[in-house]
Amino acid sequence: MRVLMLNGPNLNLLGTRQPDVYGATTLADIEQMCRTHDPDAQMSFVQSNHEGAMIDAIHAAKTDHDGIILNAGAYTHTSVALHDALASVEVPCVEVHLSNIHAREPFRNHSYIAPVALGQIAGFGAQGYLMALDALRLHLVD
């Protein structure tokens, strides 16, 4: 299984950014957790604060990856372009959020990613990435 782990804006600050909301785990910690959890998966980790770079990574995934695990950060709630990129590549995607976006500010309740994702995992912190790996593997086996 070849997986693109794509993280959006401000996720490079995990561990120091609002730890009461996002926890103390860093993005490097999450990458190591994922590699340990599923050592047979070939994972590519990309983090960008730029929407265009994220779109380019999604486009490249069409030929390089079997699936995408995406934490689009705030772009979840604003980016029709990410939605369209995911729809156009037709690579299975699992949407992940560290916090429960449905229990936060009303503007965070809407996801442009959800309609083109296999499913959404939100509110379980870093464990959500491991859940997403398991869900993606199960989907690809079926």
Paired tokens of 2? 């070849």
Paired tokens of 47? 């983090």
Cα–Cα distance measured from residue 115 to residue 117, given in angstroms and rounded to the nearest whole number = 6
Q: Which candidate in 22, 75, 112, 129 is catalytic?
A: 22
What does the CA dihedral 114, 10, 109, 129 come to, rounded to 10 degrees? Answer: 50
What are the residues facing 44 on neighbouring strands? Answer: 4
97 labelled catalytic:
yes
83 labelled catalytic:
no
Q: Which candidate in 65, 75, 83, 97 is catalytic?
A: 97
Q: Are 126 and 98 in contact (CB under 8 A)?
A: yes
Report, as residue numbers or ranges, the catalytic residues.
Answer: 22, 97
